[in-house]
Structure 1
Amino acid sequence: MRIAILGNSGSGKSTLAQWLASTAGAALLDLDTVAWEPGKIAVPRSPEAAAEEVGDFCSRHKKWVVEGCYAGLVSITFARDPLLVFLNPGEEQCVANCQSRPWEPHKYSSQTEQDERLAFLLSWVRQYYSRQGDMSLDGHRECFATYAGQKVEVTAKPRLDPPAPEVLAWLR
């Protein structure tokens, strides 16, 4: 089982990835951990270093889930023929998910710090539909369209409890 998950901030990537990895006993890679310098969320890593780390991760594990909003980094997984899941539930759902997300200690030193950055995050989520580039709706659609392997676009929040049949099928 190899799954790459792509989508806007707040689309449910981390929740789905954690559930899939936990259920399948698979390794999990949050692309935020390779796209930014460790401990410096505002300092991007070189694209080459991030790409190398993604490739190494996929090579080291038989079963894995990779998730993030970086189309370029997700596309590195394509050499391993994953199922590509494009989460695209719409702006309203992404905003709601961001407003209710638990503290992410791998990104923020405290819940307070995370909460202080919520307004920026919500602005970023809303800009997804109009900006260009690797982390935009257009960039994600292009990544999805160019992948020749198995793929699915999900426009509603996937049911995990109990898991929907289509989600269970991804575990095979």
Structure 2
Amino acid sequence: MNLNRIIVLGNSGSGKSWIAKNLASAMSSEWIDLDTIHWEPGGYGVARDRLVSLQMAKQHAENNKWVIEGIYGWIIEEIQIHATYLVWLKINELECIENIKSRGIRGNGTEESFSALLNWAGSYRTRTGSSSFDGHQAIFNKFSGNKITLTSRTSIDEFLSSIGSKI
């Protein structure tokens, strides 16, 4: 199993950053949070131009070893060809909301943007587009390499333990 280039996909608050940091550390590889590519520096207030975001993501994806994580299906669709492994965190929305509440406001966010993020996470299975549950399902189904769906903290921990010896 080739774990050199891993994409971690999932809802806001599902634990993408946490698992990606752990994988990148174990692999001694680069960790790329797609939030830093999608948003202009300084927070989550202003999105970059889509073409600029795609160009930045593709540059990272051409490297030999990385873990890229994010919710942005429209970016992942463009870079998944470079991935050797796909992890989909399919965590219950209520748990995602609780995780977001636990970590609090980030990146110069406001109460208003925090409330919007909670609503966004709660609508994962009902919203449409590439960053929705259905969008992620389509990406997962299309991916032809090694892949796994993780649905709980226990399955995430078991996955990390199982691949530790394979890195």
Shorter chain as normaliser: what TM range?
0.7 to 0.9
Distance 1:131 1:88 in 2: 15
Deviation at residue 117 of structure 1 after TM alignment: 3.8
Aligned to 2:115: 119
Number of matched pairs:
162
Report the 3-state secondary structure (helix = DSSP H, G, I; strand = E; otherwise coil) of the residue aligned with 1:164.
helix
Aligned to 1:91: 93
Report the 3-state secondary structure (helix = DSSP H, G, I; strand = E; otherwise coil) of the residue aligned with 1:134.
coil
CA contact (8 A) 1:4 1:77 kept: no
Aligned to 2:5: 2
Two-structure CA RMSD over aligned residues (Å): 2.2
Distance change in 2, residues 1:40/1:72 (3 Å): same
Distance 1:154 1:58 in 2: 23
Residue-by-residue CA offset, 1:38-62 (whole Å, 9 max, x unaligned): 2352222222111111111122x32
Residue-by-residue CA offset, 1:62-106 (whole Å, 9 max, x unaligned): 2100000001211233221320101001112211211212664xx
- Which of 55, 69, 72 is equivalent to 1:70? 72
Distance 2:68 2:13 in 1: 16
Pairing 1:33–2:36 present: yes
In the TM superposition, 1:100-139 aligns within 5 A as 100-101=102-103, 104=106, 107-108=107-108, 113=109, 117-139=113-135
Aligned to 1:159: 157
5+ unaligned residues in a row in structure 2: which ranges? none
CA contact (8 A) 2:26 2:164 kept: no
Whichever residue aligns with residue 154 of structure 1, its letter is L
TM-score (norm 1): 0.84
- Which moves more between the two structures, 40-49 or 25-34? 40-49
- Which moves more between the two structures, 128-137 or 43-52? 43-52
Distance 1:65 1:54 in 2: 12
Distance change in 2, residues 1:136/1:114 (3 Å): same
Pairing 1:145–2:141 present: yes
- Which of 15, 35, 41 is equivalent to 1:12? 15
Whichever residue aligns with residue 157 of structure 2, its letter is R
Distance change in 2, residues 1:34/1:163 (3 Å): closer
TM-score (norm 2): 0.86
Whichever residue aligns with residue 159 of structure 1, its letter is D
- Which moves more between the two structures, 114-123 or 33-42? 114-123
5+ unaligned residues in a row in structure 1: which ranges? none
